[in-house]
Amino acid sequence: MPSGDQPQSETEPPRRRSGRRPGRPRALPIEEQRRLVIDAARVVFAGEGYSGATIERVARQAGTARSSVYELFDGKEDLFIAVVADAAERFVQRLTTSFRDSADFELRDYVAHNFTTVFELFEQDRETVTVLLNAERGGMEPPMLAVADTRRRVLATVAASTRSRWENLGVDVGAASEILSLMFFGMAEGVAVRQADDPSWDRDALIDLLTDFTVGGLYRLARYPEVLEAAGRRKPVPEPESS
């Protein structure tokens, strides 16, 4: 026997192999495990789409085993619903924070700040936006509910901010604040998607264009508040006649 090898003592307990497998440590709290898997799944669903994503790919991205993912989620659809709901919350919180932080800005700075936030969402958190857009296009009912709720919450935030600014000018815009918020977000989303898909567009120039277009329109509306007031008056919808 080579001199460097010592026989194991008969009284020494046998060495046990570690049962820990590579990947996610089993000691992680359940919420941290879910966070790890959801973050990995967001990357996979954004890159592969719903049909191309698999639990195996998600597990590999998360550095864990397929069985560990199934311990947390019933399957791909259940995981996708969780990812969409999480993406929706990330999106809403980012925009809500932006509007809150800029509430006291002068009008042009306020508009530019929030247009910039939308562009940054598409640039810096592209996976979140992609997951939401894919869910909206896919027509799967539970994720679609999350996306619809996201739009509702974002538009409500924009509408509340819009209404407050007009009230400070003594103009009662009524329900027109909802339409103005839809116009604001619709323009921001459409142009941000175009620029994210084709970076040859000058991002700052597009934000300036959107800002000046919006501010110019708002100044013009301030001269003719009756246009806003008329748009904010909702007509009662007659009840359908029962057969």
Q: What are phi and psi of 56, to 5 degrees?
A: -60, -45
Work out whether the CA dihedral 48, 53, 59, 62 comes out positive or negative: positive
Quote the tokens at residue 19: 């049962």
Q: What is the pLDDT of residues 99-153, one digit of tens each?
A: 989 988 999 999 999 999 999 988 888 888 888 888 877 756 666 777 777 778 8
Quote the tokens at residue 61: 């991205």
**What per-residue confidence (pLDDT) applies to 9?**
43
Most confident residue range from 3-17, 138-152, 167-181: 167-181
**Nearest residue to 221 (alpha-carbon basis) of 162, 133, 144:** 162
**Nearest residue to 177 (alpha-carbon basis) of 151, 158, 191:** 158
**Nearest residue to 85 (alpha-carbon basis) of 135, 10, 17, 14:** 135
Helix axes 76-101, 30-52, angle to 10 degrees: 100
**What per-residue confidence (pLDDT) applies to 41?**
95
